[in-house]
Amino acid sequence: MSGTGPVGVGVIGAGNISDEYLRAMSAAPDLRVVAIADLDPGRAAAQAAAYGIAQEPAPAALLARDDVELVVNLTIPAAHAEVGLAAVEAGKHVWAEKPLALDRADAQRLLDAAAVAGVVVGNAPDTILGEAIQHSQRLLDDGAIGAPRTLLTLMQGPGPDVWHPRPQFLFARGAGPLFDIGPYYVSTMVQLLGSIVGVEALGSRPRDVRTVGAGPEAGAGFPVEVWTHVSVLLRFASGVIGTSVFSFDSWVERQLFEITGDAGTLEVPVSGFDGPSRIKPAGDRTAPWRELPPPGTPRARGAGVVEMGRAVRAGVPPRASGDLAFHVLDVMLAIEESADAGGRAIELTSRAPRVEPLPTDWDPTAATLPDAGRAS
């Protein structure tokens, strides 16, 4: 599929995260959001009214629209592959929330189908395109800490059941701290340090039943199907070794992403799109951290859809590509398999493509395509 002008976007899934996407995409002249659909018509109707777009009665009706070129798939993880395949079969490009799929076979089927159909697959998280992580990537590429040697990441907290009104799906297969939060960390690892070739992991699940902590279902119990604490050792093709923790079992909330090299340590602001990188130089343990604010225009969730839309028009792969998402999924599945096997070492065969940094002046709110920004 090819064309000119702003890329027509349809959204499938009108849940909590859709607001963030719709706000960002509505502010991007290179996109034209035209319709939304959800299995819950009431949720779709509310978002359609809020953002001045059409509501379709079902996903199939949205996929049938000629003015939808790119589908943003915001369904629950268990539906990512099914909805993605339906979009590809309808001749649409697909951007999906993470993870790409729940298993390697479905993920590969989606990528293969897209290749046959001549359409493009992109995948969250697009935080890797935020000015914060992009700045860290440039610092690494410029040798700010010398050759990277080790990685330490921590993601700890009490879990989304304490605040989310419908947290059940976040403790079902395809979620938990590894698959819900892990993609942000693993995607950043791969973006900055290259492909991961081996993992070892241990997991724990202290509670088999959790309780909804907020909203109309507060107090209701629900089953836990996944590890809620995972400790991981990682080995990169570059020779870097890493240690990571992903946990919904800590009352201490902590996020950390540190890369140590021959000339110092880089702290990467992995939790969002903005924030400064920090460097502590080697050789003096009393030296203070040096804070380095990123250049560039502020970005938000949905920036990946903008970058993908421009890539589609240019006929080049998007940076947050399906191939990158496949490797990230492969890594997370290997971590889960290792934990299920009591820490057995797992070797990976997939590799991720090198992702070049964005230009420092890249702006998702700029009009870069013909007729972008004109009233329709």
* Contacts of residue 169, Cβ cutoff 8 Å, sequence gap at least 6: 76, 77, 78, 175
How far is it, in rounded angstroms, from Cα 245 to Cα 242? 10
Q: What DSSP element (H or E) covers 121?
A: strand 121-123
Closest by alpha carbon to 178, among 153, 198, 148? 153
Rounded CA gap, 149 and 159, in Å?
A: 31
Catalytic residue among 98, 229, 299, 319: 98
Residue 295: what residue type? Answer: P
Q: Are strands 148-156 and 241-247 parallel, antiparallel or unpaired?
A: parallel
- Nearest Cα to Cα of residue 127 among 300, 256, 308: 300
> CA angle 95-25-299, nearest 5°?
95
Strands 254-261 and 264-267: antiparallel
Please provide the DSSP assignment of 145-192 as one string.
TSSEEEEEEEEE-S-GGGT-SS-GGGGSTT-HHHHHTHHHHHHHHHHH
Tokens of 127: 């935080």
- According to DSSP, the residues that pair with 95 across neighbouring strands are 72, 122
- Residues pairing with 72 in the sheet: 11, 95
Give yes or no: 98 in active site: yes
The catalytic residue positions are 98
